Structure 1
C-alpha cells in the first residue's frame, strides 16, 4: 500500500514538472513595449473563433496544411490575399492533396481577407 502511494506521488511530481507555464512572463505588467507583443490581429481572432482549428494548426500539418506552410508557399501580396480569401469562402482541393477544404460561404469577404492577411503575415 505504501508503495502505491509512493509511486503515485512520484508520478504526480514528475508530471507537474513538465508544465510549460512560464510564471515569470505570465504576470508582466503591460507597457507600450510589451503590449505590442500580446496584440492579436482581427484575422487571428476570426480563425480562433471559426472551425479552421479543426483542420489547420500553426506549425503542424493536421488535415490541411499548417499556416506556416501556407505562408511559405504564397508571398504576401494583394493577388494572393484575394486568392486565399476566395479559397476560404469557396473551399477547394488539389493544391495541398486530395482532401478537399470545405466552403465557408457564410463568411464575409472582409473577414476572409483578414484571415488570409494574418496567415501570410506569419512568413519568417
Structure 2
C-alpha cells in the first residue's frame, strides 16, 4: 500500500488475517502430507498445492500491506494473523487421522470449511 492510500478498513484487516492464517495452515498441512505421500505423483501434486496456498496467502497479505515471508521477515504478516494463531488447534486435536489418506481428507475438509467461511465473510464486506 502506498503512502497515498489510506489505512485499510479494520474489518478487512481482520478478514485478511483470518484468510491468510487459513492459507498458512493449508500450506503446512499440504506440505506435511506431501512428505509421506504414497507415490511421487502425489508428493508433487501436494507440494504444488502447498506452494499455491502460500502464494494465495501472500496476495491476501498484500491487500493490507502486511509483507509475507519474502517481505520484511514476515513481521507484518504475523501481526495480521496473530489473532487467529491456534484457531484450528481444537479441530486438529479432536480429529486424529488413522492414516495418510484420512489425514489428507481431514486437511481438505477442515480447511475447506474455514476457506468457505472467509468467502462468506468477504461477500458481506
Q: Which has the larger radius of gyration?
A: 1
Q: TM-score, normalised by structure 2?
A: 0.26
TM-score, L = length of structure 1 = 0.27
Structure with the bigger percentage of helix:
2
Higher relative contact order (CA 8 A, sep 6+): 2
